Structure 1
Amino acid sequence: MIVDCHLHVWPDHIARAMQEQRPAGMKLQFDGTLDGLLRTMDASGIDRGCALGVGIKASVVERTNEFIGTVPRDRLVPFGTVHPELSVEQNVRSLKDNGIVGVKLHPLFQTVSLADPRVHDILAALSDEGMPVITHVGAGADPEANERGAPVLLRRLADALPDLKLIACHYGGYHRLDEAEEHVVGSSVTLETSWPPTMAELEPEKVVALIRRHGADRVVYGSDWPMADPAAEIAAIRNLGLTPEEEAAVLGGNLSRLLGL
């Protein structure tokens, strides 16, 4: 089974606007709609995936979670949004009211720092609820964004909340891989493989060494749809030279186990 950890999706009218905004200056390769996502999954051979909603400000958290709560559960696991300008109780209630099982945190889009004590408090509550958290880590659109999601901040967060099911996107440091290897690789977090526009630009030998150092049982495949093509990213994983057991674990076994699929 192939399970994609990193699938952004928006209501149709917002997806159209995202085509013009180009998140982080990156061209969307697909339309960002729910129908478009399901077609891509079928074409790419993806059995299940995490549908990620990101509320860029507190006022859209509820609407974002309402939408993500409607995704088809036979194919998609709903990961909703939180925001530190809302109370811990408001955030948790919005997730539960919409049947959401996990959270996507995005220091770049949300202008939120992994060092913010309010973020720590929210994630501590999510840990108590057993909800996994997927977070962007690494470079953003500007130096300030880079620091909000720095690998060292992720490590401090993971150490402070050892029971939190924390998944670090982009091998723990998008375009900051040396820092990820210093601070994140070998830690308690689960690493995710996306590297838009394609993971194929990374050196395979370096990626394999990183995966094995961290533990191939704690690395999960993610594409970062619609910024990347899942079929190409699956091919990039298969071209790394992992053992069949490692490949199967990364492409779906590990995330299936973590999410109880």
Structure 2
Amino acid sequence: MIIDCHTHVWPDPIAKRALAGSVRDLPRRGDGTVDGLRTSMDEAGIDRAICLGIGNTPEQVDKANRFAGGLDPARFTGFGSVHPGLPVEENVAGLRKHGLRGVKIHPMFQQLELDDPRLGAVLDALQGEFIVIVHVGAAGEDPGNRCTPEMLARIVREFPRLDLIACHFGGYRMFERAMEVVCGLPVYLDTSWPPGLASFDPARVRDLVRRHGADRVVFASDWPMADQCAEVEAIHALELSDDDTAAVLGGNAARLLRLDDN
């Protein structure tokens, strides 16, 4: 099984507009629609995708959660949104209401910082029940000061029962800092690095995977900002063992999502 842990889709009527408002310096490899993602997955041999909903403002959270919760569960696992501008209880109740397994936090789009005490209160409430995937590092012209590897490391230490996935190996455009600060911590790292993982020397990525532990790395493309076929090929190009490759491409995510329980 291959599971892509980092994709973005929007309702058809707003997908084009939403995609145009995302990071502008990256090429688009898809149209951001559910059907577009399904076609891309079929071409890449991907069985399941985690689709990340983001409510940039408190008012957008419920809409994002409703859409994520309504995706076809046969192919998609919707992750919703939380926002520190909402009461902690309302954030948690919204996720439960829409049957969501996890949330995406994106400090740039949500205009918040990872060390915001209000966000800490929400993360505390999510421990033991929800998976949290966090953008770490830069984005577009934003240097990433809101979500550094160091901030992520503090979250890992402060909330030890939180199932946490750090996007972009723990620091987009901050690979060396992530290697030093995040590598080895009890956190899952996703492999997304738009416009493509192949832009890295495979030896560097292979070294990070082995140091961090292949059982704590999950395949991710960041579609539609990257080509899913190329990202699967890039994982194979790392020349990990067959067992480690299978774990990264899907086994670790299946365990985290508790797919075997279903």
Normalised-by-shorter TM-score class: over 0.9
- Please state how far the C-alpha of 1:14 moved relative to its aligned partner: 2.0
List alignment gaps of at least 5 residues for structure 1. none
**Is 2:101 the counterpart of 1:101?**
yes
2:215 maps to: 217
Query: Is residue 191–residue 218 contact of structure 1 (8 Å, CA) maintained in 2?
Result: yes
1:76 maps to: 76
- Please state how far the C-alpha of 1:22 moved relative to its aligned partner: 4.2
Number of equivalences: 259
AA at the equivalent of 2:123: L
- TM-score, normalised relative to structure 1: 0.96
CA distance in 1, matches of 2:19, 2:9: 12
Quick one: structure 1 residues 199 and 154, their matched pair in 2 at CA, closer, same or farther if it must change by over 3 Å? same
CA distance in 1, matches of 2:195, 2:189: 18
1:113 maps to: 113
2:182 maps to: 184
Query: Aligned runs of 1:33-112 on 2, under 5 Å?
Result: 33-112=33-112
CA distance in 2, matches of 1:135, 1:76: 19
Query: Is residue 19–residue 27 contact of structure 1 (8 Å, CA) maintained in 2?
Result: no
Secondary structure at 1:147 match in 2: coil
CA distance in 2, matches of 1:178, 1:253: 27
Residue deviations 1:165-185 (CA, integer Å, cap 9, x gap): 000011001100111011110
- Please state how far the C-alpha of 1:136 moved relative to its aligned partner: 0.7
Secondary structure at 1:182 match in 2: helix
CA distance in 1, matches of 2:131, 2:148: 20
2:3 maps to: 3
- Please state how far the C-alpha of 1:81 moved relative to its aligned partner: 0.4
Runs of 4+ with deviation above 4 angstroms: none
Secondary structure at 1:27 match in 2: coil
AA at the equivalent of 1:192: D
Quick one: structure 1 residues 235 and 10, their matched pair in 2 at CA, closer, same or farther if it must change by over 3 Å? same
Query: Is residue 108–residue 141 contact of structure 1 (8 Å, CA) maintained in 2?
Result: no
CA distance in 1, matches of 2:243, 2:254: 15
Quick one: structure 1 residues 30 and 92, their matched pair in 2 at CA, closer, same or farther if it must change by over 3 Å? same
Stretch of structure 1 that moved more, 19-28 or 118-127:
19-28
Secondary structure at 1:146 match in 2: coil
Between the aligned residues of both structures, percent identity stands at 49
1:30 maps to: 30
Query: Is residue 23–residue 139 contact of structure 2 (8 Å, CA) maintained in 1?
Result: no
1:236 maps to: 234
CA distance in 2, matches of 1:179, 1:202: 15
CA distance in 2, matches of 1:218, 1:92: 26
2:137 maps to: 138
- Please state how far the C-alpha of 1:17 moved relative to its aligned partner: 0.3
CA distance in 2, matches of 1:81, 1:4: 18
- Please state how far the C-alpha of 1:241 moved relative to its aligned partner: 1.3
Secondary structure at 2:99 match in 1: coil
AA at the equivalent of 1:196: P
Secondary structure at 1:25 match in 2: coil
Query: Is residue 64–residue 81 contact of structure 1 (8 Å, CA) maintained in 2?
Result: yes
- Please state how far the C-alpha of 1:140 moved relative to its aligned partner: 2.1
- Please state how far the C-alpha of 1:20 moved relative to its aligned partner: 3.0
CA distance in 2, matches of 1:17, 1:23: 12
CA distance in 1, matches of 2:26, 2:166: 20
AA at the equivalent of 1:189: V
List alignment gaps of at least 5 residues for structure 2. none
- Please state how far the C-alpha of 1:93 moved relative to its aligned partner: 1.0
**Is 2:145 the counterpart of 1:147?**
yes
AA at the equivalent of 2:50: C
- Please state how far the C-alpha of 1:149 moved relative to its aligned partner: 1.0
- Please state how far the C-alpha of 1:13 moved relative to its aligned partner: 2.1
AA at the equivalent of 1:29: R
